[in-house]
Amino acid sequence: MAREHAILARNLRLGRLELDIVAQKGPLVCVVEVRTRGKGSFLPALATISAAKSSRLLRAAERLWQDRFAHSPEVERIRIDVAAVSLDEEGGPRVEYFAGAIAGAP
């Protein structure tokens, strides 16, 4: 993702909401939720996104759209992605990237 996208923000606060990464590739803005889990974790990283977390991500993406991109001719839409990082591999961390993992973004 980082090679293809320009990083616009990291740990962006929108009131009480926070977005881990905001990146842009052409007319697409990606909100990336990063979930990391270690070797002893009970659940895999992707499984830790609850319905409440999904709802907060959608609200934050909507606020980001309204505050920064709704009137920008250079941005057509926002997509919410998830980067699931597993730290239990012997060869280093393993990252799985799920584009459009949370549906309903503006």
At 26-66, the pLDDT tens digits run: 999 999 999 988 877 788 777 888 899 999 999 999 999 99
Report yes or no on 22 lying in a domain: yes
> Is 1 a residue whose pLDDT tops 80?
no
Residue with the bigger pLDDT between 25 and 87: it is 25
Average pLDDT, the chain: 88
Instruction: Report the predicted TM-score, pTM, of the whole model to 2 decimal places.
Output: 0.86
* CA nearest neighbour of 98 among 86, 85, 79, 81: 81
Q: What is the CATH number of the domain that holds 11?
A: 3.40.1350.10
Q: Work out how many domains the chain is built from and give that number.
A: 1
Cα–Cα distance measured from residue 87 to residue 98, given in angstroms and rounded to the nearest whole number: 17
Report yes or no on 1 lying in a domain: no
Strands 28-37 and 77-86, bridge-based pairing:
parallel
pLDDT of residue 2: 52
List all residues 6 or more positions away from 9 whose beta carbon is below 8 Å from its beta carbon. Answer: 19, 21, 22
Tell me the CA end-to-end span of the chain in Å, nearest whole number.
20
Question: Domain containing 73: what range?
Answer: 6-83
